[in-house]
């Protein structure tokens, strides 16, 4: 993977920010279906923007959100140990700070 993944596999890091990974419990066919829906919705966002269609853009954004929730990247967390969600937080301000600092120092 191009981006580093936290040791617990819950997040990947882009420019120092944590982004929630997809639920690893999804089977391959489910994941493929949801990723396909996500890509279709993202293309629809671009198409609606290029055409200045605000209603279609809003619908496409809703479809992106639905696909991301189905993948487990948004909404309720997919882990069950009670750990909080640090999605979109800067790694340096989370319990992953030490791991991230060590990783950054070694790059």
DSSP 3-state of 107 = coil
Name the residue with tokens 């989370």.
94
Kindly tell me the burial class for residue 76, based on how many C-beta atoms sit within 10 Å of its own C-beta (0-12, 13-18, 19 or more). Answer: exposed
pLDDT at 104: 76
- Asked if residues 31 and 41 have their Cβ atoms less than 8 Å apart, the reply is no
What are 31-90's pLDDT values in tens digits?
Answer: 999 999 999 999 999 999 999 999 999 999 999 999 999 999 999 999 999 999 999 999
> Is the pLDDT confidence value at 1 over 70?
no
pLDDT at 105: 77
pLDDT at 90: 98
Higher pLDDT, 103 or 96: 96
**What's the number of CA atoms in the CB half-sphere (13 Å) around residue 48?**
17
What residue spans define the domains of the chain?
1-21+76-107, 26-72
Predicted TM-score of the model (pTM): 0.88
């Amino acid at each position: 993977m191009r981006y580093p993944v936290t040791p617990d596999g819950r997040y990947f890091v882009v420019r120092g920010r944590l982004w929630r990974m997809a639920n690893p419990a999804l089977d391959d066919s489910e994941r493929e279906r949801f990723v396909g829906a996500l890509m279709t919705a993202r293309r629809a966002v671009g198409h609606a923007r290029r055409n200045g269609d605000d209603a279609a853009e809003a619908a496409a954004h809703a479809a992106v959100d639905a696909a991301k929730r189905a993948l487990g990247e948004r909404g309720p967390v997919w882990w069950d140990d009670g750990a909080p969600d640090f999605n979109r937080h800067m790694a340096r301000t989370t319990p992953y700070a030490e791991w991230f600092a060590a990783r950054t120092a070694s790059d």
